[in-house]
Structure 1
Amino acid sequence: MKNHFIALSEEILISSQAGEDTTSLRQQLFYIRQSKLEKSLYADDLKKVFWINIYHAFYIIISNETKESYRILKVKRIKISRAVLSLDYIEHGILRKYKFKMGYGYFTNPFYSSFIKSAAVEKVDYKIHFALRSIK
């Protein structure tokens, strides 16, 4: 059975790579219920696939709209389940299990939102950092 949210993240990624309009797909992301997202992304592998697709798609979208490259990771433009995220939040909060950005992945940041804490992976895969950097 195909996971709806994984398929949605793949569709957003493919559309952003092709330079197509992703407004309706992003709107679908915004109206996802957090509880449905959590139930659907119940395993770390599913979370990784979903969030890496979202990261890459929004990196493309934001880099096409923002001329200042130093702001791409910090700008809060990703709206999922009525939460507003940045690429840094996805990378360090969700995929690296709410670690401080400057702590080399060792120090936990207790100030992330409850959404990020509930969406985060259970076990950190340190190769994720390299997968995210491969797009740039």
Structure 2
Amino acid sequence: MASTGEHARATPTELAAELLVALRTDAEPEPLLSALADCSEAALAPVREDHETGLAFWLNCYNAGTTRLLAERPELYDSHWRFFRAPALTVAGHPLGLDAIEHGILRGSRSKYGLGYLPRLLPDSFEHRYKLAAVDPRIHFALHCGAASCPAIRAYEPAVVDDQLDTATRTYLDATVEYDHDAGVVSVPRVFRWFPGDFGGRAGVRAFLRRYDQLPEASVDLDYLDWDWSRETPTFAG
């Protein structure tokens, strides 16, 4: 574990990745949590200004937040409304819940309930400053919300986050998509039903699935797999 002085010199992106690793290895997370809470808006400039840096940073913050809440306040998960809104970590003095990170920042201020088409209501100034300009639908295969159906997580790095997201997406889809040849039905993860707008609508969903070799050449119907909400501590890929 790095010293407090080393944490003070680390970038916010490094802190978020180190926090995720610390939670994975049961190391003491408090110095890292404090460093993230105390980081300045100036230090966060790359997170605001560079898409890949912002993507990696907020993915790691979300997954670290989930891991922390499940470890420290597992009873919250009995009420998903409370769990996803509870403060999971603080960045630059701003407490953030999982919904705020996912829907406010990573999905660019899109409503949790609008199928990917409607904006979030009343975003605050922090969300305005840090939300990503465009949603990358692959985040849905990189975020772990505490449910058994969620994907494995990893520490994302700005320089390779695109390749990491491709790997995470392909791995998850390969493990979950089911094709019934006789019925002409492909069963896919429920996130495609919850957020079709993130993928570009119905046609975009099919194009996305074909990109990852999940649809046959033949015309098929899509079915949506049930989501297992059983509480589960995130597993780490690799």
Q: Establish whether TM, by shorter chain, passes 0.5.
A: yes
Query: Does 85-94 or 107-116 show the bigger shift?
Result: 107-116
More helix by percentage: 1
Segments of 5+ residues of structure 1 without an aligned counterpart are: none
Deviations, residues 21-40 of structure 1 (Å, cap 9, x unaligned): 11111111111112331x22
Segments of 5+ residues of structure 2 without an aligned counterpart are: 1-9, 144-149, 153-233
> Are 1:50 and 2:57 counterparts?
yes
- Which of the numbers 69, 72, 78 marks the counterpart of 1:65? 72
> C-alpha separation between the residues in 1 aligned to 2:41 and 2:121?
20
> C-alpha separation between the residues in 2 aligned to 1:56 and 1:77?
10
Deviations, residues 92-131 of structure 1 (Å, cap 9, x unaligned): 0000001111112211124111111111111111121221
Deviations, residues 55-112 of structure 1 (Å, cap 9, x unaligned): 1111111101122323432212321111111011000000000111111221112411
Conservation of the 8 A alpha-carbon contact between 1:100 and 1:107: yes
Residue of structure 2 equivalent to 1:125: 136
- Which of the numbers 84, 97, 115 marks the counterpart of 2:108? 97
Bigger relative contact order, structure 1 or 2, given CA contacts below 8 A and separation 6+? 1
Conservation of the 8 A alpha-carbon contact between 2:12 and 2:39: no
Residue of structure 1 equivalent to 2:221: none
Q: Percent identity?
A: 28
- What SS does the aligned partner of 2:42 have? helix
User: Would you say how many aligned residue pairs link Structure 1 and Structure 2?
Assistant: 133
Following superposition, the deviation at residue 4 of structure 1 comes to 1.7
Structure of higher CA gyration radius: 2
Residue of structure 2 equivalent to 1:11: 18
- Which of the numbers 20, 30, 33 marks the counterpart of 2:27? 20
Residue of structure 1 equivalent to 2:94: 83
